[in-house]
Amino acid sequence: MGARAIGIYSIFVISDNGVVLVLQRATHHTLRALGAALAGLELTAAEINALANLADGRVRSVSRLSAETGTRATTLTGVLDRLERRGYLTRRLDSADRRSFLLTLTEEGRLAAARVRAAVTDLERAALAGLSADQIAGYHAVVAALQEVC
């Protein structure tokens, strides 16, 4: 946020660095940090993202996970293939809608997901330590607003 003098005019700009550009940058950095923190698990960014969302233990369809992660279903197919091959999750037909698969973490998958979750919350705790609840609420409001117009 800021006002900048240009000649005799003063124009108001949304942000000196835009909310979108810093979003991309922060995403790149956090993905790399999480990958490093979880180096022992040999997970890619998309796998970490999927596991972090699955970590709550709730059973979901692929399309649901797709919406939560922001990853396309075509991409998720490959990600889920790898997680399934690794024994981290199972796909079983949803008897209520037999076009759909229900994703369930295995015991081993729950352990891995818990470690992912821990790494994520560690990072969040460290980052947000000095910030106020209002600032964090503002963050969520902006991100939600970006989501809505996309």
Partner DNA sequence: TATTGTTATACTCTATAACTATA
Partner DNA sequence: TATAGTTATAGAGTATAACAATA
Q: Which stretch binds a second copy (CB under 8 A): 57-65, 80-88, 97-105, 134-142?
A: 134-142
Is 149 an interacting residue with respect to a second copy (CB under 8 A)?
yes
List the one residue from 57, 59, 68, 106 that touches a second copy (CB under 8 A). 68
Where are the alpha helices (H) located in 1-150, listed in sequence order? Answer: 19-37, 45-54, 62-69, 73-85, 107-128, 133-149
Contacts with DNA in 121-140 (CB under 7 A)? none
Q: At its nearest, how many Å lie between DNA and the CB of residue 100? A: 3
Are 54 and 105 a contacting pair, CB within 8 Å?
yes
For 96, the token pair is 């209520």
Q: Which residue is associated with the tokens 């990072």?
A: 123
- Residues forming beta bridges with residue 9, ordered by sequence position: 6
Is 73 an interacting residue with respect to a second copy (CB under 8 A)?
no
- Phi/psi for 7 (5° steps) reads 60, -135
Instruction: Provide the residue count of the chain.
Output: 150
For 108, the token pair is 């081993």
Residue 5 interface partner, choices DNA, a second copy, none, CB cut-off 5-8 Å depending on type: none
Is 42 an interacting residue with respect to a second copy (CB under 8 A)?
no
What residues make contact with DNA under the rule CB under 7 A? 28, 31-32, 35, 39, 44-47, 61-64, 66, 71-82, 91, 94, 97-101
What residues make contact with a second copy under the rule CB under 8 A? 1, 14-15, 18-34, 49, 52-53, 68-71, 120-121, 123-128, 130-150
